[in-house]
Amino acid sequence: MNESTTLPASRMGSTRAAVWLAVATITCASLTVLGNETGARWLAFVFKPLATVLVIAHAAGSTGDTGVRRRWVLAGLVLSLAGDVALLWPQQGFLPGLVAFLLAHLCYLVAFTRGVRLAAQPLAFAAYALVAGAVLSFLWPGVPAPLQLPVLAYVVALAAMAAQAACWWWHARGSGLDARARLAALGGALFVLSDALLATDKFQGPLPHASVWVLSTYWLAQWLIASSLAAPPRR
């Protein structure tokens, strides 16, 4: 068999694996939402962590990326898994989950500074600062005093992560990294949306079908961030 026939087969196998991982992740995410919506909590306990494990597997298969970026994204995903497990207990686990996700965003922030300096595009940071300020001003009256400082720190880390992802995209426009940086920027934006919905549901009264909107945007954000890593080199 010559090289011209083995290359397409290699690409086809890699594509199939990514598709199956995506399908499995969507299935686990859907079962988690179903459990939350119907009160079958055991579904969430089983399938919520599993969905994030599958996203980690997706990122771990992206061996073509630079070691530093890949390591920090994987660290962020593992910390996100810890946060997912903590938030299975919405009251007792909220603060540990908040800290885990804050650390995850700092890991993503470091990953998105590989090849582009921090705040390389000040307009992106200004825009996300306005968004963060608007969200905080809306939520603040409902945030209990003991949680105000952790929530403030979390929002700053989240907004900085999303802004730095946008900086990477701006810096990478027209280069070979454009598509991957765009995925990271979209993932960052969706993470902000997901957490804004989660916080609104928690601090400003229940949102109808909150689990559907919060978790769908959350896992899409994580999948996009994981997908911003490079695929394995072709052989």
Local confidence band at 5 (pLDDT 50, 70, 90 cut-offs): very low
Q: Which residues contact 124 (CB under 8 A, 6 or more apart)?
A: 163, 164, 166, 167, 170
What is the pLDDT at residue 1?
41
pLDDT by residue (tens digit) across 152-170?
999 999 999 999 999 999 9
Retrieve residue 31's tokens.
């079962």
Distance separating alpha carbons of residues 32 and 39, to the nearest angstrom:
10
User: Per-residue pLDDT averaged across 43-58, rounded?
Assistant: 98
What is the pLDDT at residue 234?
58
Flag the least confident range among 55-59, 145-149, 172-176, 230-234.
230-234
Domain boundaries, the chain: 3-227
Distance separating alpha carbons of residues 114 and 168, to the nearest angstrom:
9
User: Per-residue pLDDT averaged across 45-51, rounded?
Assistant: 98
Distance separating alpha carbons of residues 79 and 73, to the nearest angstrom:
10
Q: pTM, whole model, 2 decimals?
A: 0.92
pLDDT by residue (tens digit) across 105-149?
999 999 999 989 999 999 999 999 999 999 999 999 999 999 999
Q: Which of 25, 91, 12 is nearest to 58 (CA)?
A: 25
